[in-house]
Amino acid sequence: MRKILYVFSLLTLLVSCDKIDDLTKFNLDYETQVTIPSSAGINLPFDVLTPETETDSESKFNSNDTRKDLIEEIKLTQLQLVITSPSDADFSFLESIEVYISADGLEEIKIASKLDVPETVSILDLEVSDADLKEYIKKDSYNLRLNTVTDEAMSQDHEIDVNSTFFVDAKILGL
């Protein structure tokens, strides 16, 4: 009887820890804008840089009841491009795209890509890497570099929102 009570208590504790662990998992969303100029060459790779993105990580971690030193892992779960201008545009001009992240003192790494871009969409979800990005998001800011290849001439600049979602997993109560 005592063994059953001990096993039951242990199982209850494990289930409770899983629920607490879920409380230390959350998403961080960031949005930035980029312009792909109409003068971009065809079938030639060129880079487009986003403005520096402020992470405000201290505040965001604090609002989720954690701290930078308790972060176990941060992974990109979604990177979406949305054409905002011209309003009737789609991604038909784009052949492929790769997105890289960099931050002060850290090496640039590829975090997302799409090699065969569908032609008739104005919202594009990229395939994300499995890299742990905690050191980048823990910094005060990061930069994104879009390496693009166009397959048709563009008569207008294209304004694009770059929406990213990062999944954060922090330690439970510092353990």
Report pLDDT digits (tens) over 88-142: 999 988 899 999 999 999 999 999 999 989 988 999 999 999 999 999 999 999 9
Structural domains of the chain sorted by starting position, each given as residue range(s) with its CATH number in brackets: 26-170 (2.60.120)
pLDDT score for 163: 97
Look at the chain and count its residues. 175
Residue with the larger pLDDT of the pair 140 and 46: 140
Cα 86 to Cα 81: distance, rounded to the nearest angstrom = 14
Answering whether pTM is above 0.85, one says no
| Rounded (5°) CA angle 167-75-114 | 115
Give CA separation, 104 vs 43, 118, 141, 159, in Å.
31, 34, 8, 26
